Structure 1
Amino acid sequence: MKQKNKLTEYWDSKRNKISTDIGKWIGGQEVYIRNHPLFAELFMQYSYMQIQVLNVTGKLISKELATWLENNFMCMSYPDARIWCNQIGALAGMNATSPSAAITAGVLAADSRAYGGSLTTKLAMAFIQQAVNKIAMGQPVEQLIAEAPIKHGKPAIVGYVRPVDKKDERILPHQRMTENLGFKKGPHLRLSEQLSTFLEAEYGSGINIGGYTAAFLSDQGFTPEEGYQIKALCVASGVAACFSDNVNHKKHEFLPKRCEDIRYTGPQIRSL
């Protein structure tokens, strides 16, 4: 009998095995998602968003929360080719790539610390959750903001700036939706409103949809990493729209440029 190697014993126990409690497909019979049978329990009873969150977090959320998230996704993916990630979808369509490649590239372009709704959700949730803890320990709002790094003369807090327009048209509809679906303001939403009021008064820069979403999801008990995973594909619809808009156009038709449109600032041409 072969003797166990203490150095590799752990890895040998995992060799050629997949160990998971996430789910399992039993061919011809059933699929289990976090111990919930798909066809016997979930199919036709729960929405796609409920299954998405179940897959990511193990939580089978209410239909009201799933509706909130679905409507939030609608507002994170405008079909406008001026938006960074959507330009990639448009260029990919013009160059006849596959829709899968176009959407994947657009989603990756939105995986940014500055915009996009996925990584920014994680960062904004981490901030607001830490902020709630600091407030509970007696730290004033003014000090919270004073601790933030300054960029362009304003506190650089993810969720409280917007590069294009200071007023975020998505906030009011989300506030109404939150109330209409029966959700109460928790400590994170309440603090986000205090921060927004202070920042608007002092710097003319209030909360954006990322900050509101981060506070709401934190009140629902999600971690920053769970928020990141749930929102990972939130821009996909707009990217797909801009791909579709350009897939049958002539090559180079999207945003063509003349040579004089490009200002060259590199080394001068040399004589050899």
Structure 2
Amino acid sequence: MPQDVVNTPYALWEENRNRIVSHQGGWVIGKGVFNHGYSMMDDLVGEITYFQQIFLNLTGKLPDKRLGDWLEAGYICFSWPDARIWCNHMAALSGTSRGAIVSGVSSGIMAADSLMYATGVMVRCHDFIATALKEKRAGAAVEEIVKRHLSAKNELPGYARPIAKGDERIDAMQRVCRKLDITMGEHEALAYEISDYLIEEHDECLNYGGYLVAFLADHGFSGIEVERLISTAVASGLQACYVEALERPEGCFLPMRCSDVVYTGPEDRELP
């Protein structure tokens, strides 16, 4: 048998050949559409919110309406109608070039997926705050926790923010929590303690990603689940920027002259 066949999960492929296996659910023609044991048309439509459905689809857990409403508010905090924001650039460029809205929004969602910000940093934020809480429970002071992590990795995921100081979105979400009567948990409380220390010592503080992760960790969600829950959170801001660019004359979003590009590469040369 060829070596490349030996090194592949051949038996597993054969087992799943021409079959789609799902533990989530699906459409049973003539009976209904099922999702984690719920009949979607009978149990969910008109009974839960879309954001509760997001939780169910991505985590298999159906939360109460308050948590769904919290996530909806959280999405609004991600969806700013400002074309200066890096991911919103994609949607505006699609609009100004008369591309389809789906292509603009999809490319913007992809641009928001980075190991430095947005969805891509959520697992690291979760790892940090979960580890920090274990250290605090073991008796470590906040100062020790911060110094240890800065010494080991030279970063504190979930803290600091480019350009601006502070994060107005956290204040808004705290207001939402009070309105929904959602109490603070251990991860979130520690996140604020660390933030207070950083403000005093480093003039930096908790950012929105760090807040989201700490809050959702207190409700039993893992880092990868948080990443999935906010995977499309920027969509509405992208749609707004696409529409605005589309309604203006074609090509008017950030047009450039050749002279605007500063080239620093090799000199012109003859090619064979």
Q: Above 0.5 in TM-score? A: yes
Structure 1 Cα separation of the partners of residues 267 and 13 of structure 2: 58
Q: Which moved more, 1:67-76 or 1:160-169?
A: 160-169
1:130-175 deviation line (CA, Å, top 9, x unaligned): 211222223332232223358xxx9532211111211211111111
Q: Which moved more, 1:157-166 or 1:262-271?
A: 262-271
1:101-180, aligned counterparts within 5 Å? 101-116=103-118, 118-149=119-150, 156-180=155-179
One-letter amino acid of the structure 1 residue matched with residue 213 of structure 2: A
1:250-269, aligned counterparts within 5 Å? 250-269=249-268
Higher helix proportion (structure 1 or 2):
2
Aligned residues: 262
Secondary structure of the corresponding residue to residue 25 of structure 1 = strand
Structure 1 Cα separation of the partners of residues 235 and 64 of structure 2: 24
Give 1:232 deviation, angstroms: 0.3
Give 1:24 deviation, angstroms: 1.3
Give 1:115 deviation, angstroms: 2.1
Structure 1 unaligned residues grouped into runs of 5+: 1-6
Residue 85 of structure 2 aligns with which residue? 83
Q: Assess, with a 3 A threshold, how the Cα gap between structure 1 residues 30 and 140 changes in structure 2: closer, same or farther.
A: same
Residue 197 of structure 1 aligns with which residue? 196
One-letter amino acid of the structure 2 residue matched with residue 106 of structure 1: G
Residue 74 of structure 2 aligns with which residue? 72
Q: Assess, with a 3 A threshold, how the Cα gap between structure 1 residues 251 and 143 changes in structure 2: closer, same or farther.
A: same
Structure 1 Cα separation of the partners of residues 42 and 170 of structure 2: 39
Structure 1 Cα separation of the partners of residues 256 and 60 of structure 2: 49
One-letter amino acid of the structure 2 residue matched with residue 126 of structure 1: D
Q: Which moved more, 1:250-259 or 1:261-270?
A: 261-270
1:58-92 deviation line (CA, Å, top 9, x unaligned): 11101000000000100111000000000111001
Residue 62 of structure 1 aligns with which residue? 64
Structure 2 Cα separation of the partners of residues 11 and 259 of structure 1: 52
Q: Assess, with a 3 A threshold, how the Cα gap between structure 1 residues 183 and 155 changes in structure 2: closer, same or farther.
A: farther
Asked if 1:13 corresponds to 2:15, the answer is yes
One-letter amino acid of the structure 2 residue matched with residue 200 of structure 1: I
Q: Assess, with a 3 A threshold, how the Cα gap between structure 1 residues 270 and 45 changes in structure 2: closer, same or farther.
A: same
Secondary structure of the corresponding residue to residue 168 of structure 2 = coil
Give 1:9 deviation, angstroms: 4.6
One-letter amino acid of the structure 2 residue matched with residue 243 of structure 1: Y
Structure 2 Cα separation of the partners of residues 268 and 11 of structure 1: 53
Structure 2 Cα separation of the partners of residues 182 and 122 of structure 1: 27
One-letter amino acid of the structure 1 residue matched with residue 174 of structure 2: Q
Structure 2 unaligned residues grouped into runs of 5+: 1-8
Structure 2 Cα separation of the partners of residues 10 and 213 of structure 1: 38
Q: Which moved more, 1:236-245 or 1:128-137?
A: 128-137
One-letter amino acid of the structure 2 residue matched with residue 129 of structure 1: A
1:83-103 deviation line (CA, Å, top 9, x unaligned): 000011100111111111111
Give 1:271 deviation, angstroms: 8.0
Contact 1:92 1:102 (8 Å CA) reproduced: yes
Same amino acid, percent of matched pairs: 36
Q: Which moved more, 1:231-240 or 1:179-188?
A: 179-188
Structure 2 Cα separation of the partners of residues 147 and 42 of structure 1: 47
Give 1:47 deviation, angstroms: 0.4
Structure 2 Cα separation of the partners of residues 147 and 245 of structure 1: 47
Structure 1 Cα separation of the partners of residues 144 and 164 of structure 2: 26
One-letter amino acid of the structure 1 residue matched with residue 72 of structure 2: E
Contact 1:121 1:231 (8 Å CA) reproduced: no
Structure 2 Cα separation of the partners of residues 19 and 53 of structure 1: 21
Secondary structure of the corresponding residue to residue 130 of structure 2 = helix
Structure 1 Cα separation of the partners of residues 49 and 23 of structure 2: 22
Structure 2 Cα separation of the partners of residues 148 and 263 of structure 1: 40
TM, length-normalised to structure 1: 0.89
Residue 3 of structure 1 aligns with which residue? none
TM, length-normalised to structure 2: 0.89
Q: CA RMSD in A?
A: 2.1
